[in-house]
Structure 1
C-alpha cells in the first residue's frame, strides 16, 4: 500500500472525516479496509483520489493510504464519490462515481486491484452506467444464476422524480448491456422530502446509496437513502435516512415493494453492510449528514430477521 501526500497516522474512527464509508473485511489478513469520499475534487496541485484506512478492530485505524490515483488522461476528473469494494474471482473490484469533463456526465466506473487496499487501476473503459445519464452510487450484485448487475441512482438533477435502476454487467465486469430495470421512483415514497439545490436552481427527489442484501426468507432487500419529512421516522428528525425496498421474488426483476417504516431516520445514511470477524452483520454509514464537515463513519450492529434487518 502506498502513502499519499497526507502523512500516515493512527487515528480513531471518530477522528476520520468521511462521507459514504464502506468497509471491506478481508479474512485472509484479518484486516478491515475503510474506503469513502474524502479527497473528492483535489485541491491546489493535488488531484482527486480515493483513500483507504486499515484496522484490526474497527476502532483504531492506520492511514490514509492511496487506494486509487487517476492516471494521466483518466476520464473522471472530479466528484470522486462513494467507492465500494467487492472480491470477485479472486480479484478486488472498486465501483466508484466520477464526473467527466465538459460535456460528460457523472457515472460509475469499475477499477481493479490484486490487493483489497489497492492500488486500483481502471478496469472498465469508462462508466458502465448509461453515458447520456447523470448517475452515481453504483453497487454490485450477483444473483443466484450467476448474472452480475450494477444497481445505481439516476440523478434527480436530470430525472426530477429520482430513480434507482439496475442493468446487467458482462461477466468480466467491463461493460453493461441489456434492458435497464427500474427499482425506485422516489417521488412515490410517502416519507420522502422534496430536495433542492439553489446553486443550480433545481429541485426534485433525491436518491442515494443502493446496497443489496439477501434476507433469510429469500427476498432481495435494497437499502437506499434520501431525506425524510419531519416527524415521520423513529426519531422524527426529518433528516438523511435509510429506507428499504424489497423484491419478494428474490429476483432483480421484482416485483419491488417499499417498506413504509424507515430502517434509520437519524440524520445518518449512505449505508452498506459488512460482516465483522465474529460473523456479526453491521451497517456502515456516515453520521451526522449535516452540518457538513462533521461526518464520521459509524458502525452499528444489526439483527437479521426472517425478512430483513433490525438495528440493535
Structure 2
C-alpha cells in the first residue's frame, strides 16, 4: 500500500472525516478497504488524491494510504469525489468523479489497479459520462446479458431537473457508447425539495449517488440520494436522504418505479451496499450531511425482504 504525506494511524471509524464512503470487501485477504471523498481539492502544495483505509472488522481502520495520485497532465484537476471500486476480469476498477480544468465539464472516469488498495492509474480516456455535460457519481453494473453499464447523475446545476441516466460501456471499460437510458427525473418525486446553492445563485432538483443491487426476487433496486421536504420520512428531518427506485423486470432499461417510502431520512446519504465476510448486508453512508469536518462513515445492517430492503431492527 502506498503511503503519502499524511501520517498513517489506526483510528475508530467515528474519527474519519469522509463523505461518500464505499467499502470493498476483499475476501482473498479477509480485509475491508474503505474509500471516499477526503482530500478532494488538494491543499497548499499538495494535489488532490483518493485515499484508502484498511480494516479486518469494520470498526478500527488504518490509513490513510494513497489509492490514486494523479499523474502530471491528468484531466481531472479538482473535486475528487465518490470513488467506488469493483473487481472485474481479475483487476480492480475505480469509478470516480472529477472536475476538469477551466471550461471543461465534471464527469466520471475509470481507473485501474492490480490490488484493491491501488495504486490506481488512468484507464478510460477521460470521462465516460455524457460528453459536454455536467455529470457525477458514476457506478458500475453488469446485466445478465453481460452488458456493462455506467449509471450516473446528470447534474441539476446544468439542467435544473437533475436526472439519473445510464450509458453502455465497452467491454474493456475504456469508453461509453449509444444513447443514454433515463432512469429518473428528480422533479417528479413528491418527497423531494428544491435545492439551492447561493454561491452559484442557482436552484434545482438534485440527484446524487446511484447504486444498484439485484434482489433475490429478480428486481433491480437503485439507491440514490437527494434532500427531502420536512416531516416526510421516518424521522421527519427533511435532510439528506436515501430513496429507492426499482425495475421489476431487473433491467436497466426499466420501466422504473419509485418508492414513496424513503430508506433513510436521517440527514445521512450517498449510500452503497456491501456484504461482510459473514454474509450480513450493510449500507455504507455518511452522517451527518454537514461539511467542515463533521461527516463520518456510518454502517447500518440491512435485510432483504420480499419487496425490497429495510434497515435491520
| TM bin (shorter chain) | over 0.9
How far apart, CA to CA, are the structure 2 residues paired with 1:307 and 1:96?
Answer: 31
Whether the aligned pair in 2 keeps the contact of 1:108 and 1:135 (CA below 8 Å) is yes
Local SS of the residue matching 1:229: coil
Local SS of the residue matching 1:210: strand
The alignment's C-alpha RMSD in Å is 0.6
Q: What's the CA shift string for 1:232-287, capped at 9, x where partnerless? A: 00000000000000011110110000000000000000000000010110000000
Match of 2:201 in 1: 201
Structure 1 range deviating more: 299-308 or 101-110? 299-308
Local SS of the residue matching 2:159: coil
How far apart, CA to CA, are the structure 2 residues paired with 1:115 and 1:49?
Answer: 17
Residue 179 of structure 2 is aligned to residue 182 of structure 1: no
Query: How far has the Cα of 1:30 moved from its partner?
Result: 0.4
Query: How far has the Cα of 1:307 moved from its partner?
Result: 2.4
Match of 2:51 in 1: 51
How far apart, CA to CA, are the structure 2 residues paired with 1:216 and 1:122?
Answer: 35
How far apart, CA to CA, are the structure 2 residues paired with 1:290 and 1:160?
Answer: 23
How far apart, CA to CA, are the structure 1 residues paired with 2:87 and 2:131?
Answer: 26
Match of 1:210 in 2: 210
Match of 1:230 in 2: 230
How far apart, CA to CA, are the structure 2 residues paired with 1:22 and 1:207?
Answer: 18
Query: How far has the Cα of 1:291 moved from its partner?
Result: 5.1
Local SS of the residue matching 2:263: coil
Match of 1:139 in 2: 139
Structure 2, gaps ≥5 residues long: none
Query: How far has the Cα of 1:154 moved from its partner?
Result: 0.2
How far apart, CA to CA, are the structure 1 residues paired with 2:111 and 2:286?
Answer: 23
Query: How far has the Cα of 1:159 moved from its partner?
Result: 1.2
Local SS of the residue matching 1:2: coil
Residue 101 of structure 2 is aligned to residue 101 of structure 1: yes
Match of 1:248 in 2: 248
Match of 2:83 in 1: 83
TM-score w.r.t. length of structure 2: 0.99
Structure 1, gaps ≥5 residues long: none
Local SS of the residue matching 2:156: coil
Match of 2:62 in 1: 62
Whether the aligned pair in 2 keeps the contact of 1:216 and 1:305 (CA below 8 Å) is no
Local SS of the residue matching 2:226: strand
Local SS of the residue matching 2:119: coil
How far apart, CA to CA, are the structure 2 residues paired with 1:253 and 1:291?
Answer: 35
The number of equivalent residue pairs is 312
TM-score w.r.t. length of structure 1: 0.99
Local SS of the residue matching 2:158: coil
How far apart, CA to CA, are the structure 2 residues paired with 1:107 and 1:38?
Answer: 18
Match of 2:293 in 1: 293
Match of 1:28 in 2: 28
Query: How far has the Cα of 1:227 moved from its partner?
Result: 0.2
Q: Which runs of structure 1 show a deviation greater than 3 angstroms over 4 or more consecutive aligned residues?
A: none
How far apart, CA to CA, are the structure 2 residues paired with 1:50 and 1:201?
Answer: 30
